[in-house]
Every structure is written in structure tokens, then in C-alpha cells.
């Protein structure tokens, strides 16, 4: 049975942090469903690239997914003001399912209360809110929480997600295939 990953996109998402992990997860065989925060399934990122979401967040049942993936970028403020991403992070964690966030998206995990007592990293721009972020580490895994610093760490982050869902051999094979 294929693993399913829910990826939430709001306007202003960081394109590299979204597309690179989705690509790697799909190479591994995951079904990644891109969910638009709002009713418009065309979501434009911070650099003006528009992505067609598979569904709206309201149309999906989170219980059918194995992992939650929240990309970063300036659009994280939209996810935070909406509140559903933090609620979903709590649901996934309560159900012992991994929650992954990159760049500014760990602030959503902080809103959900999931970072207390955890090791994590994030983008330096949110250090005022997340003073305990480990900025020297590119990808940090602590229990169900997987975090990464930003666009420059998107491939490593994506491979960590593959490793979590499919194991080390799958991550190594994909890393080899993309010449990483």
C-alpha cells in the first residue's frame, strides 16, 4: 500500500521547499496530495510560480494520510492566521504520524505546541519566535517532528521524509539517482 502525504499550500509558499520534497517523495512511491488552503486550487508562491493543487484542504480527510508536510516561505503567515495547519499538525502527532516543516513553517508547529522539549531547526528569519532553533543543523528529526532550515536544505529534507516513510535503502537509491 502506498504511503500518502498531505502537503498544505497557502499563497506565498516557497517553491523550492515545496517541489523538491514532493518530487523526491513521489520518486519513492508516495502519493503526495497538494491541498490548497483556500478554495482557489491555483496557488502562487513567493517567486510567482503557480502550482495547481489537487484539492482544497476542506475536501480532504486527514485520517487517510501517513504524513503532514508544511512548506515554508512568507506564505506561512497565511497558514498561521488560518489555524487549520496547526490543528492538523496536532491531529497527526496525536495519531503517531510524522509532521514535517521547513523554513518558517516550524512556527506552525510551535503554534500547535509540538516543539516544546524538542530539537528542531528553522529559517533564521523566525529566530525571534523560535530562539531554540538549531540553526547549525540542516535537518533535525526528533520523534515525529522533522524540520529543516530552508530552500538550500530542501533536497536533504525531502530525503529525510523519504527515509521516514520508506527506509534508508529507498532514500539512498533516490539520492544516487539524482546524483546527490
Catalytic residues: 103
Kindly state the DSSP code that residue 138 receives in the 8-state scheme: S
CB atoms < 10 A from the CB of 80, how many? 17
For residue 7, what are the β-bridge partners? 34, 69
CA distance 57 to 91: 14
Instruction: Give CA separation, 108 vs 16, 48, 104, 121, 140, in Å.
Output: 19, 23, 8, 13, 16
CA distance 94 to 136: 29
- Residue 36 near residue 56, CB atoms below 8 Å: yes
Q: What is the CA radius of gyration of the chain?
A: 15
SS3 154: helix
C-alpha cell at 22: 514532493
Amino acid at each position: 500500500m502506498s504511503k500518502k502525504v498531505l502537503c498544505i499550500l497557502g499563497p506565498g509558499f516557497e517553491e523550492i521547499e515545496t517541489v523538491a520534497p514532493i518530487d523526491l517523495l513521489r520518486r519513492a512511491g508516495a502519493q503526495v496530495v497538494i491541498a490548497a488552503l483556500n478554495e482557489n486550487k491555483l496557488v502562487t508562491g513567493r517567486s510567482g510560480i503557480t502550482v495547481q493543487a489537487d484539492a482544497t484542504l476542506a475536501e480532504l480527510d486527514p485520517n487517510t494520510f501517513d504524513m503532514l508536510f508544511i512548506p515554508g516561505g512568507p506564505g506561512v503567515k497565511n497558514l498561521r492566521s488560518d489555524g487549520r495547519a496547526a490543528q492538523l499538525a496536532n491531529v497527526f502527532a496525536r495519531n503517531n504520524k510524522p509532521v514535517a516543516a521547513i523554513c518558517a513553517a516550524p512556527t506552525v508547529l510551535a503554534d500547535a505546541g509540538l516543539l516544546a522539549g524538542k530539537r528542531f531547526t528553522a529559517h533564521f528569519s523566525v529566530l525571534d519566535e523560535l530562539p531554540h532553533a538549531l540553526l547549525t543543523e540542516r535537518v533535525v528529526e526528533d520523534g515525529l517532528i522533522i524540520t529543516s532550515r530552508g530552500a538550500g536544505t530542501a533536497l536533504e529534507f525531502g530525503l529525510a521524509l523519504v527515509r521516514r516513510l520508506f527506509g534508508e535503502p529507498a532514500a539512498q537509491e533516490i539520492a544516487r539517482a539524482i546524483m546527490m
